[in-house]
């Protein structure tokens, strides 16, 4: 997913206002207004870097006179202790933007790192399977979190409720069955939009196959059942696996032959990557 820079700048303005309020009283009280310096951003653990362009926008929105220089590219795998960027200019401005820039860098790099780890695990048993995210994102951060998944080598599922039909268990109950739900969806949407149906058993799978959606999601099935489901679909639809996916199970799930594995934890419970900013001289 590409970033909408206009939306990003609007969000950053709001986030800066939330943090700075009517002024960074500590920096203003302790640091001379004409003081200049260099903020050195570096990693305190190994990982995949994502969000450098976001950090650039943070400092540019705060103080256009600041100069932000990337030392590595987005998506780079780095070790602990690597300088990833420097920001030069007003010391007060650097310190006022430090927390927001780090919060976003750490969050996005954590997501990219976790995604990369899942992709590498899945590749041990399947060369074609895609690791994708879900809508289980932090409110207000969906664009950035889905961007970070792509930086980490993953792919995006639907962005929201508006860009694909996903018929889940409650939709099936409300519609009176898979067949009725798919039929109603197809009558209501454009021919360019895809329909996905969630199934929980091989019995539901057979009904879904007959209804001819574009994608079938296998929800919380064991590997043996998933492999049988893939055999029955026989390439007629995209097959997605969801539920019960972790770093210990992803390779086995990929080996069943599914096309896509969706993982909510990529965005809803990932750990931030430890990144720090030191002024003028990096701590050793």
Residues 22 and 147 occupy one common structural domain: no
pLDDT in tens, 123-136: 999 999 999 999 99
Looking at the structure, tell me whether residues 150 and 216 fall in a common domain.
Answer: yes
Residues 78 and 140 in one domain: no
Positive or negative, the Cα torsion across 189, 192, 196, 202? positive
Q: Is residue 252 part of a domain?
A: yes
CATH of the domain at 37: 3.90.1170.20
Number of domains in the chain: 2
Mean pLDDT of 19-46: 97
Does residue 130 sit in the same domain as residue 250? yes
Residue 158 sits in a domain whose CATH number is 3.20.20.70
Confidence band of 283 (pLDDT split at 50, 70, 90): low
Q: Coil, helix or strand for 69?
A: strand
Residues 102 and 167 in one domain: no
Q: Which residues contact 203 (CB under 8 A, 6 or more apart)?
A: none
Q: Decide if 177 is inside a domain.
A: yes
Check: pTM over 0.85? Answer yes or no. Answer: yes
Whole-number pLDDT of residue 191 = 94
Same domain for 106 and 232? no
When pLDDT is cut at 50, 70 and 90, the band that residue 3 belongs to is confident
A 10 A CB-CB count for 163 gives: 11
pLDDT of res. 284: 58
What tens digit of pLDDT does each residue of 156-181 get? 999 999 999 999 999 999 999 999 99
* 143 plus 243 within the same structural domain: yes
Nearest to 49 by CA among 284, 278, 272, 279: 272
State pLDDT tens for residues 201-238.
999 999 999 999 999 999 999 999 999 999 999 999 99
Active site amino acids: 99, 136, 168, 198, 219
Greatest alpha-carbon span in the chain? 72
Query: Mind listing the pLDDT tens digit for each residue in 182-200?
Result: 999 999 999 999 999 999 9
Q: Evaluate whether residue 284 is within a structural domain.
A: no
Q: 254: closest CA among 112, 111, 127, 133?
A: 127
Q: Does 24 score more than 70 pLDDT? A: yes
**Domain that includes residue 252, residue range:** 125-268
């Amino acid at each position: 997913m590409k970033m909408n820079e206009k939306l990003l700048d609007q969000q950053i303005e709001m986030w800066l206002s939330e943090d700075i309020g009517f002024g960074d009283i500590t920096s203003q009280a302790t640091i001379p207004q004409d003081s200049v310096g260099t903020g050195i951003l570096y990693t305190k653990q190994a990982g995949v870097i994502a969000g450098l362009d976001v950090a650039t926008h943070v400092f540019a929105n705060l103080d256009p006179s600041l100069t932000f220089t990337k030392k590595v590219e987005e998506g780079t795998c780095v070790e602990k202790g690597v300088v990833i960027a420097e920001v030069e200019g007003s010391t007060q401005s650097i310190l006022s933007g430090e927390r927001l820039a780090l919060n976003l860098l750490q969050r996005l790099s954590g997501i990219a790192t976790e995604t990369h780890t899942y992709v590498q695990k899945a590749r041990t048993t399947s060369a074609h399977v895609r690791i994708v995210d879900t809508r289980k994102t932090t409110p207000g951060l969906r664009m950035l979190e889905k961007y970070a998944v792509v930086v980490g080598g993953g792919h995006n599922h639907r962005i929201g409720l508006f860009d694909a039909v996903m018929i889940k268990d409650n939709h099936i109950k409300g519609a009176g069955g898979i067949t009725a739900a798919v039929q109603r969806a197809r009558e209501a949407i454009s021919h360019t939009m895809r329909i996905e149906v969630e199934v929980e058993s091989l019995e539901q799978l057979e009904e879904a196959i007959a209804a001819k959606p574009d994608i079938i999601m296998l929800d919380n099935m064991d590997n043996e059942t998933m492999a049988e489901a893939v055999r029955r679909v026989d390439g007629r639809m995209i097959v997605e696996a969801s539920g019960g996916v972790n770093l210990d199970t992803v390779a086995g799930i990929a080996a069943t032959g599914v096309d896509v594995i969706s993982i909510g934890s990529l965005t809803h419970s990932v750990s931030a990557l430890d990144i720090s900013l030191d002024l003028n001289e990096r701590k050793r």
